[in-house]
Structure formats: C-alpha cells, structure tokens
Structure 1
C-alpha cells in the first residue's frame, strides 16, 4: 500500500512541478540556514557545559563600585579552600606569557595557561596521551596540544620527551591534549604548572590582596549551598583584603555564566540567532502551507472520488503526508549539502578568531535529530490542513465542480500568513540596513587621532638576548628618525585598538574619598605626535625633560580630568589607591577613541616608558604611505639580523581599525543572507499563488475579455489582493522595525539614527517587488486568448 502512496505522490509532484520546485528551493535554502543557526545556538547554549560535575564548577568574581569582572586576587584560592568546607577544590587558570618550546632546534609558541595540579580535578578536558591525575604533579612537566605535538614530534607519542622552555629550563612532556572544544571559555594550547610562574620575580610583585588579575575556578561539594557561602564572603574580604580594597565584594558565580560576563553581547547573539532561525522556519512553513492549501483546490475531485470508492480520512491524510514528506526529505538532503559545503565555511569566516562550527555526528546528533523532528512536524502540518479541508467538502458538489468554499486569495488564514512573511522580510531588510550604516559610521568616524599613513611594526620579536637586542635596535630607530620618508615614530606597549584591559583606582591629592577607575598604559615621548593626538593643555612627554622620572610625570585625557572634577589638570597630583607615591600631570590629551566606538571613552592615563625601547609596537608615520613598502623591506632586513623567535610582521593602522569591526560585518553578512533568502522565498510563494489564482479563474478572465475588459484591468483584478496584503505588511512592519533598530543602535555608545526615508524606501521597494512579481503573472494570464480560456476545464 505504501508503494502506491509513493507512486501517486511522485506523479502529483511532477504534475505540479512548478510548485514542487518553488517548495524545494525555499525549503532547501531555509532549512540549510536554520540548521547552521541551530548548530550555533546549540554551541552557545551549551557553552562551558561539557565538563563532568559542571553544576559544581564556579568562578570567583570581583565587584566594586563601578563594575563587576571575572578576575580576583591571586591568593584567594588557597584561602577559600582552607577556610570553607563547601569548597572541594579549585584551580587558577592564569595567563601571563606564551612560552616558547624548543625541541632539537625547532621553536614553537603556543597559547599558554599556568594552572594548579588540581586543574583536571575541576575540568574535564581530554588527553590523547598522558594521565590527567599525574600530568601536572611535577614542576617541570608540560602538556601540549595535538598541533604542537605533531609539529615537534610527528606522529609518535611524545610522553617523556624533554623540551626546552623559553631557552632556559628543561621540561618533560607529560600530556598531549585533544582539541579544546570551541564552546569553551578556557582556551589554551599549552599547560604549565603554576609553581613555575610563582617563581617569577615580576609575577610575585603583583601577588597580593589588592591586585585583581587572577582567574580562579572552584569546584564546590555536591549539594553545597552557594548562597550560604556567599553570605560568609563579606567577612572573609574584610579579614584578608588589603585596606585599599575593603569596598570590594566577592561573588561566586556558576561557571556556565562566565562567557556572558566576559562577553555581554554573546547572549544577544544567541537570542538573535534564535529569533532569525524561528523567522526562517516560519517563512518556509508559511510558504509550504500556503502553496499546499492553494493547490488543494485542483485535487478536490480526486479526493471526492477517493471517498466514493471507500477511502478513509486516515488514508487521505497518509497520501498528503507522503507527498509533503518526499518534498521535505529531498529538501533536507539538499540543505545538508548546501549547509556543510557552503554555509558552515561562510559562517566560520564571518566569525574569524571566535567560536567556529565543526560538524560531527558525535557532537551534533541531537541538533540533527532536532532538525529532522522540526521537518517532520512541518510535513505533518503542511499535509494535514489541505487534506482536512478537502475532506469536509460535499462529495456531490465537488464532483459537479460546485465549490463554494474554494481556497481563494481572500481567505483570511492565507492572507494572514502572507502578511507575517512580509513583516519578517521587511524587518530583516531594515535590520540589515541599520547594521551596515552603523558599521560604516564607525569605520569612517573621526576618532580623535590620525589613522592615515601609519604602519605599526611588531617590535618585540621575542629576542633571545634583550640587552643585546636593545643595543642593536637603537641605531635602527635613529636611522628611521633621520629618514626623510618618516614623519614621526614612537614605541609603546599599546596602540589604538590594542589597549590593555589594565585598570587601577586613582585618587587626587587632597581628596582621599574621590576614587576614579583609570585605564593606564605606558608610552614614549613621540606617541601623541605620531598619532596626531592633540593636547588640550600642557605638554606630552619629553626625553630631555622627563628622562630622570622626577615627580613621576603622567598625561591624562579629558575624560579623566572631568572625572576628577578638575577644570585644569596640569600640575595636579594623583596616586594609585594601593601606592603612596604621587604622579604629576604634565598634560591633558583631547579625548580619542582608543577602542571600538561601541564603548565610551574611559578615563585614561599614560605613564612615561622612557626613551624609545623594545616595546611591543613601533609606530611609524610616513610622509606618504606609498613610500612604506621599500622602507619596511629594509627595516625587516635590519631587524631580522637581531636573533629572535618571531617573524617580522606589521599592519597598516587604517586596516586594523577597519578590521576591529569585522565581527559586525559577519553579523551583517549573515542577516543579509537571511534577508535575501526570506525575500526570495516570500516572492516565490506569492508567484506560485498568483499563478494558481490565475489558473483557477481562467474562464472568468476569458469572459471578462470577451465583454471588453482591458489587459490592465484584468491584471489589477488578479493582483489586487496581494498588493493590499503587501501594503498591510508595510504598515505593520515599519513601526516594529523602527523600535528594534532604535533599541539595537542604542547598545552602541556612539551610533547613528536611521532617517525616515530609509523606512519609506524599504516599504516602497517591497511593494514594487510584489507588484512586479504578481503583475508579471497577472498580465500573462490577461493576455491569454479568450477562446482557449473559455474552452479550458
């Protein structure tokens, strides 16, 4: 029996091949897009949840007057484990530097985390080789990932092999990591016992109960009362934190929330992806339902004959379900091919250096089965509605061709579904325009500094002998300064777009109650000049005037001066809360955007790093950027003579400033694709419906032509309902889109406002596309020879 259902289904699908093709196109593109988004949603929702005992893992946050962040003081871990029985164990996951690993003369660097011996007691990262219970027990042990292991040792098991770390100490390879999941907030390529970091002099200087630079994770005992533990922490902070940090609060937060505090926009992205996936599934479901319902009219006699010959409702439903199932199965196969071959790579390209999608059955079978379940539900609904409708019709009237309840275009259900399609499509178009205009605004805005003709060279190539490197580097800088092609140059630990997240609380001299959180970094005497940062008052650093470091000179920005409540700042003194030494303000910079325009300009302080040194960056301002290439080639030749591990590299500042908005470009491209997809599906559906409506009214069109109706008059008659529906959609969509765009744009500290004409143009464009789509088929129907129309059945 099933074989007959399939045979009849295939015949009907081929007979109505135009509608089958429209359904296949819409469903394949829609399911592929929704599938990729569902994969992303699944990764996002399950972020950091793959560890065993995940519900017992927490991290320690610090909350002060102005912010809440995912770092705390370093000594807190051991004290918490010692003090509170609720805490089973814990670990630091500390970034400090990325170690260089040498094996038989080959150097390789990997993203490094320094961790406690209890790291694998808290987290469930998998090892390909090695025992997680013992891999971190020895101080000179090191765990590397598969990439580094393959690069250094090939295919062999490297456990027990000796490598040299940072050209100084021999370490034994104790483990090789499997790939760290993309949806893990703890990312690393190398693990080193933290006892090695604790022996570092620079690190030890920062280890106290004031500096909050440590990331600490706790594993609580099963059934531990977190609320009760947090209630004890104010007394703990009072007993242990330094006097200057007495106002801070300690928070113990579930590990699964780490990503949302670290990247507040991540939740917005997940919710946005959910909304878009739902929209896509709605559009393709509406399209399928509309077309199936409309075409059901042509099969009324078939269903009537089936009923006369004894077919039951279940058999009629099975026939329609089989047809929907065939279309959806074919669409699923096509969508999987399109998704895996094209959409997933494109999605990963959109999200460069962020969570990537790698599709595997082991990881994604739940998502794939969910998609199959959604498709099955759509197939059942799309097959059930027309079958039930036709089954209700009177058999005698149906066989005679008297159908008083034809599913014409005026049906409120079908009209409502078309309106929903258009509202979603118009909303997506306006959303895409808002993102595009905002990104363009941010890329072209006046940032308060010069972005043109500047090349930034990565000056720190991890030199093997820094003292010798400095002596060789100084003549290179001197030659650059004398070069007529160079307008100015500076060395610094930061450049715009790459400012550290390095903060401290500052107090003005004479007012111990006024505490302002500053971002602070070190620069040299030419930084402001090279970047064209204007001084509101005072001066920038000078190698001659400031070389002795007397009075600890600093330069602040306007935001810092305002936050301090100063009308003039030059000569004023301030100090860090945990440091009695005072700094003297010698100049005030005009506010400039050293980070994305999404963020407001914070109080900023530059301290003097001394004469040009081997800092992270060498910024060169050229007289003409076209002269940069030959000079950079000579600079590379000179710098490569200094023994170092990293290759020579540089970037154009203007390109880097543009690149920082690539993630928004990715969002825009994704929404753009979905927008085009929704428009194509909606218009294809309307094209199918107007074609069917024209076919259903063939004799009426013929009679009207015989009685003298014009082609335009008939075309208007056939397309009027669809144009009215499109107009209603515009009236509903524009206020909704306006509300969304305003709320979205306000999430940026500096943003555009969409002009009224954008909404008007989008509405007009959607109406024009509708008129073209329905008008084409309406005019074609109106031009049909009336003799053929009147003769048709």
Structure 2
C-alpha cells in the first residue's frame, strides 16, 4: 500500500514537471538556507566548547568610573591573579596572569616568522585543556620554554621532531621547545595563540615591571580564572568585587574599580557592556538569523501549499473517482502527505548539494570554517526530523483540503471551489512578500549605516599611510638614518614613530589636573606618545595653535589635544593653558580636529598627544603619491632589512586597517543581502507558478476577450492586477514592522544614520518591479496566444 502511494506521487511529479520543479527547487533552496543558518548558529553556540572546562573558565574584568561614565575593561594590574589566589584561593582552581595576544618574532636558523602568542602562567595548559601532541601539560614550568601549536611547529621544523630545539625570541632570548599542542579550532577565543611562553619569562625580559613604584597603578595585563568544581560563578564574582579597591592608593579610589568574572560561555555572544552592565552582542545576530532561516523555509513551504491548493480543481475528479470506488478520507490524506514527503525528500537531497557548493562562499562571507556535519548523528536526526515536519506542514493544507471534496458534486460537474477558496493563497502570498520586503528594507538600512560611518570625517588623511610594528628596537635606534634614506630614495615623503597604531588606542592615562577641575572627578584620556613629524605624516588638521616642532625645546613638556578634550576640560581659549600630568605641568600648544581612531560608530574620546623618546611600538610612513606603491614598498623593505635583518618585513595599510572596523556590520549586511535575495527568489518562484496556473485556468476567458477586441496590454493588466495589489498590501504591512525593528537596531550606535522615506519608496518600487517581471512572462504569453486555439481547448 505504502509503495503504491509513492508510485502515484512520483507519477504526478513527472506528469506536472513545471510545478514539480518549482516545488522541489523552491523547497531545496529554502532548506539549504535553513541548513546554512543552522550550521552558522551551531558554530556560534559551540564557540569555545573545545575547552573541557568551558563552564568554569572566566576572564577577570573590572568596571571603572572616569570622565563621568562607567567603563568596562579587560586590562588588569599584573598583581591581580596573585592577589586573588592569596585571598580567595579556596574558590578557584586556577587564577592565571597573561600578556595580551601579540606578535613576536621567532626564528630558527634562517627561518623566521611573526605570529601572535601569549605569555601565560604554566597552568594554562590545564585550564584550557590543551591536547598535547608532544611533551606534557607541565611543559611551561621551565623558565625559558615555549610550546607551539601543531601548525606553527610544522612551519619551522616540518616533519622533524621539534622537542628540545632552540628558538630565538625577538632576536634577544633563546627558548627551548618543550611541547606541541593541537591547533585550537577557528571558533575558539584563543585561536590566534600560536605559541605560549612562560609568564616568568615575560617578567624577566621586562624589568620595568618589577621596578614599578605602585604595581596596582597600571593596567597592562590580563587575568583568567577557573573556579572550583563546587563553586558558583556568580557568587565567586561577587566575592572578589573589591579586590582592587582594597589595594589602590587613596587618590585612585575615585575610579571605584569593581572587579568581576565574565564567563567564557559569554565571551563570544555577550561581549558588549554599557554603564558597567552586560548588554549582549552577537547573540542578537543568532536570534536574527534564526528567525530569518525559519521565515525563508516558511516561504518555500508556502509555495508548495499555494501551488497544491491552486491545482485542486485539476485533481478534484481524481479524488471523486477514488472516493466513489471505496477510498476513505484517511487514505487520501496519506496519499497527499506521501506526495508532500516525496517532494521534501528530493528537496532535502538537493539542498545538501546546494549547501556543499555554497559553503566555501558562505564561510568567506561569515568568517567561518564550517563543514557539513556528515558524521554527526545529531545533524542527521535533526535534519530528518526537520524534513518530516516540513513535509507535514507543507502538505497539511492540501491533504486536508483536497480530501474533503464531495465525490457526487465532483463527478456531476457541479463542484466549485467557491469565491473564497483563493483567500488562503492570497494571504500566503502577502505573508511571503511581507517577509521579502522587510528583508530588502533591512538590507538597505544596514548598508546605509555602514556608508554613513564610512563617510564620517576622520580628522587625518589615511591614503598612502602604512603601519609597521616594531618587534625589536633596531629601527628605533636608527630612526633618523632610516628616515633620511627612505626620503632620499623617493619611497616616502615623511615618517614618524608612535606608541599606538593610527587606527587604535593602546594607551590611556589618568592623573591629569587643570585649573577648574572638580577634585572628585576621575579622568582617563587616550595619551599617545609620538615623535616629531607625527602630525605632518598623518596630516592631522590643526584648528588652533601649532604642531610639535624641533625648534622649541619646551615641546618636550607640551600637549597637542583634540577638540573633544577641549570640550570636556572646558577651556575656552586652550592655547597656552596648563594640564598637569602626575603633577608635572604640560602646556597645550595646539588643538586638532577629532580623529576617528577607535569605533567609527562611537563619539570621539578626548585625546592627548605628547612627544616621547620611547615611542618604539609603531612606525608610520607616508608613501610618495608620485611613485607606485609596489616600488615604494620594495625600497622600504630593502632599507629596513639593512638595519633590522632579524625581523620579517611586515606592514599594514592604514586604510585597510580602518576598513576592518566595519567588518561585523558589513558581514551582517552581506548575509542579510544573501538571505533577502533568496527570499525574493523563492517568493518569485511561487508567484511564477501561481501566475502560470492562473493563466492556464483563464485560457477560455482570455480567448473570448481577445476575440472581442482586448489588446495585449489590457490582458496583461487583467492578469497582473491581482498580484500587484497583494504585493502592495505586503509593502504596507512590512514598512511599519521594518521601521520598528531597524530603528531599535540603530539605537545601538551613537553615531548613526536616520531612516529616510526614500528607503521605503525604493523597496516598494523594487518589490513591484520584481513582481511585474515575474508575472509578465506568463501574462504576456497567455495574452499573445492564438484565441482560436484557446477556445478549441474548451
């Protein structure tokens, strides 16, 4: 019996090839989108679960109040881990200090690479449950040891055993390979940690740390913790809240540092804080794309339901005959569900093919490294259950509706579907295009917000600027010689040094006072140490006063400040005013326009710039605009190699680094565009099928109208009018929905665009144009048909 159901179902698919193609292809597309989004959500939700202690690991963070606001930081004093261990050790299994993940030069003979890694306390191997391929988890106990990721070890040593091999770190220190660990997955927060060095080595190679007057005065490291097996994360977090407040000097208590634990399970999906409170983050995208996936699949199901119910009259006689020879309604229901499940099964097979083909592009778009989980039983259980549910939902209305026909009326020819039979189809079409138009509007708004931020004045000229991060002090020592050779070569027009790259803030300071400052106000400003020529190199815009100059020896105790700093401080005429930094007076010599060096969506922070002899983190070069970039870079590399042969030559264009600040938003925009296109495509596929059916159903009417003198344009209007009205209804429903949700999304950004009326006009016009193009093919085809043939078919 069951095999007969599927035989009949298969014959019906072959009999109506056009409708079958639309059903299967549409469903396959919808299911492929659902699978892609499902894989993306699975990857997001499984972030960091590679680490066995996932539920018990946290980062130690702090809230501080300065400039009148509460800000949240991951940076810590280097004594933080030790202090927590000493006073709250019973609640923790590990509390470990770590450096920032940063690049260092490692070399073996002539091989040298610059990759990122961390200095960590030895127990990190246990805390992160690293899978040691060589050595043990005690590999970092030796003071001059290093453990490498599998891929990084292979880059240096190939297939040879790397154990006990000596490597050179930053051309200063020898370290011995004591272990190799399995590469961390792409969806790990520590994925860029290609090697780990002992924390004691960090302290010994940076003697200034031990010589600090107050170890609690500076935040420059990170601290990670694993709570005890029986401890509660929230309870332990509350215990350590005042650990820093109890150690800082009286003057620093104004910052009111509040320490807390941020669980590893929230790092990826809940990274954002506002006023000291966790406000979410990427989890919003998980919800958003999950909802989009459901709706896109629903659109594909709607196509199936619409085309099945639309063709009900064609199958009414079949139902009547089968009922008259003894078929009961339950058998007919099973028959129609069998057809539905066969369509879904075929669609599922095609959807897997679509996903396999689309995954490389989708991974690049979403910045993922996902694969279909072929060997994961949960994937198959969910997929098969998902397919069955989809088949039952898609086939429910046709099965229940068609099986209810009365055989007597059908066979006597008195059966009529009724004037309201098309209402459900119209409702479903409206639902389809409501979703599609909402996605179109959303896509436009996302890209408008990105473009709005991109068009924001940034206060300097990033064209032709490159950042070169200095791993050793060799270039710094030969700065003047290198600069002169580069300018004489014609490769650059200017060059400078800076404590921070042009597009980031690496250093902030407190301890500032000025006339009229509220004694109780704690302040913290980005304070970048630069060399002479910084302003000329990046071409910052001076509003008043002057730039740093070698002609003024007093500039060693001078500040150039931005407009936001002047506004915050409250100086009406800032030039010549004094700002004390740790009780040392600095004179404001210049005011510059605000430069966007952090988020392009946030207000610019008040910032200070001072001359520093120790600004050896970054070299910034302005390429000669009259020379090709390739030629200039080649000359720069040759001269840099001459004075720093131990370092690999690496550089970054500032405009490319700035463009990366839009990465998340552009990724969301591209994904939204991808899904919007598919949603519109699926909707149009269903519309095409319905238009084809309507044209077929009204063949006689069209023939009669043509004989009576109707033009092709009249007939095109007749056949297109109903669909246009439905799409217009969809647009009027989607506009308030889109406005409500997108307006809420934009509130996340302090620097944001508005929602202009033209966005809705363009979206509605686009939807109507797509509808007319979709329907017109069938409408014009029917309108231009020979009426004699149309009437003969009757």
Q: 1:210 aligns with which of 198, 204, 217?
A: 217
Q: Which residue of structure 1 lines up, in the alignment, with residue 10 of structure 2?
A: 10
Q: Which residue of structure 1 lines up, in the alignment, with residue 732 of structure 2?
A: 731
Q: Which residue of structure 2 lines up, in the alignment, with residue 243 of structure 1?
A: 250
Contact 1:409/1:693 (8 A) holds in 2? no
Q: What is the SS of the residue equivalent to 1:666?
A: helix
* Pair 1:318-2:323 in alignment: no
* Pair 1:76-2:80 in alignment: yes
* Pair 1:450-2:461 in alignment: yes
Q: How many residues align?
A: 775
CA distance in 1 between counterparts of 2:586 and 2:554 reads 15
Q: 1:514 aligns with which of 521, 544, 557?
A: 521
**Residues 195 and 326 (structure 1 numbering): CA distance in 2 closer, same or farther, change over 3 Å?**
same
Q: What is the SS of the residue equivalent to 1:213?
A: coil
Q: What is the SS of the residue equivalent to 2:141?
A: coil
Q: Which residue of structure 2 lines up, in the alignment, with residue 36 of structure 1?
A: 36
Q: 1:137-185 CA distances to partner (integer Å, 9 max, x unpaired)?
A: 3223322112112112223443444434344444333322222122222
Q: Which residue of structure 2 lines up, in the alignment, with residue 568 of structure 1?
A: 573
Q: 1:432 aligns with which of 413, 438, 443?
A: 443
**Residues 409 and 589 (structure 1 numbering): CA distance in 2 closer, same or farther, change over 3 Å?**
farther
Q: What is the SS of the residue equivalent to 2:432?
A: helix
Q: 1:390-415 CA distances to partner (integer Å, 9 max, x unpaired)?
A: 11111111223333336x78633222
Q: Which residue of structure 2 lines up, in the alignment, with residue 592 of structure 1?
A: 595
CA distance in 2 between counterparts of 1:186 and 1:540 reads 41
Instruction: Report the Cα offset of residue 386 of structure 1.
Output: 0.7
Q: Which residue of structure 1 lines up, in the alignment, with residue 114 of structure 2?
A: 109
Instruction: Report the Cα offset of residue 367 of structure 1.
Output: 4.6
Q: 2:480 aligns with which of 474, 481, 487?
A: 474
**Residues 131 and 637 (structure 1 numbering): CA distance in 2 closer, same or farther, change over 3 Å?**
closer
* Pair 1:252-2:261 in alignment: yes
Contact 1:42/1:367 (8 A) holds in 2? no
What do you get for the CA RMSD once the two structures are aligned? 3.0
* Pair 1:233-2:240 in alignment: yes
Alignment of 1:42-441 (within 5 A): 42-65=42-65, 66-84=70-88, 85-95=90-100, 97-132=102-137, 134-187=138-191, 188-199=193-204, 200-204=206-210, 208-246=215-253, 247-260=256-269, 262=271, 265-341=281-357, 343-351=358-366, 354-361=367-374, 366-367=378-379, 369-405=381-417, 411-441=422-452
Instruction: Report the Cα offset of residue 518 of structure 1.
Output: 1.0
Instruction: Report the Cα offset of residue 192 of structure 1.
Output: 1.6
Instruction: Report the Cα offset of residue 418 of structure 1.
Output: 0.9
Contact 2:541/2:592 (8 A) holds in 1? yes
Instruction: Report the Cα offset of residue 254 of structure 1.
Output: 2.2
CA distance in 2 between counterparts of 1:126 and 1:347 reads 30
Q: 1:404-429 CA distances to partner (integer Å, 9 max, x unpaired)?
A: 336x7863322221111111111111
CA distance in 1 between counterparts of 2:103 and 2:706 reads 81
**Residues 49 and 71 (structure 1 numbering): CA distance in 2 closer, same or farther, change over 3 Å?**
farther
Q: What is the SS of the residue equivalent to 1:728?
A: helix
Q: Which residue of structure 2 lines up, in the alignment, with residue 26 of structure 1?
A: 26
Q: 1:309-350 CA distances to partner (integer Å, 9 max, x unpaired)?
A: 333444333332332233323322332223223x32223323
Instruction: Report the Cα offset of residue 685 of structure 1.
Output: 0.4
Q: What is the SS of the residue equivalent to 1:98?
A: strand
Once the two structures are overlaid, the 10-residue window that deviates more, 756-765 or 663-672, is 663-672
CA distance in 2 between counterparts of 1:258 and 1:730 reads 39
CA distance in 1 between counterparts of 2:53 and 2:491 reads 61
**Residues 298 and 734 (structure 1 numbering): CA distance in 2 closer, same or farther, change over 3 Å?**
same
Q: Which residue of structure 2 lines up, in the alignment, with residue 673 of structure 1?
A: 674
Alignment of 1:548-627 (within 5 A): 549=556, 552-575=557-580, 579-610=582-613, 615-620=617-622, 622=624, 624-626=625-627
Query: TM-score, structure 2 length as denominator?
Result: 0.90
Contact 1:69/1:262 (8 A) holds in 2? no
CA distance in 2 between counterparts of 1:127 and 1:291 reads 58
CA distance in 2 between counterparts of 1:167 and 1:621 reads 28
CA distance in 1 between counterparts of 2:209 and 2:425 reads 68
Contact 1:296/1:390 (8 A) holds in 2? yes
Q: Which residue of structure 1 lines up, in the alignment, with residue 545 of structure 2?
A: 538
Contact 2:269/2:281 (8 A) holds in 1? yes
Contact 1:81/1:88 (8 A) holds in 2? no
CA distance in 2 between counterparts of 1:484 and 1:90 reads 53
Structure 2 residue runs without a partner (length 5+): 273-279
Contact 2:716/2:776 (8 A) holds in 1? yes
Q: Which residue of structure 2 lines up, in the alignment, with residue 774 of structure 1?
A: 775
CA distance in 2 between counterparts of 1:368 and 1:545 reads 73
Structure 1 residue runs without a partner (length 5+): none
**Residues 236 and 420 (structure 1 numbering): CA distance in 2 closer, same or farther, change over 3 Å?**
same
Instruction: Report the Cα offset of residue 262 of structure 1.
Output: 3.9
Contact 1:507/1:514 (8 A) holds in 2? no
Once the two structures are overlaid, the 10-residue window that deviates more, 721-730 or 304-313, is 304-313
Once the two structures are overlaid, the 10-residue window that deviates more, 249-258 or 322-331, is 322-331
Instruction: Report the Cα offset of residue 282 of structure 1.
Output: 2.1
**Residues 368 and 126 (structure 1 numbering): CA distance in 2 closer, same or farther, change over 3 Å?**
farther
Alignment of 1:736-751 (within 5 A): 736-751=737-752
Contact 1:30/1:284 (8 A) holds in 2? yes
Instruction: Report the Cα offset of residue 627 of structure 1.
Output: 5.4
Contact 2:575/2:590 (8 A) holds in 1? yes
Contact 2:310/2:693 (8 A) holds in 1? yes
Contact 1:283/1:681 (8 A) holds in 2? yes
Q: Which residue of structure 1 lines up, in the alignment, with residue 275 of structure 2?
A: none
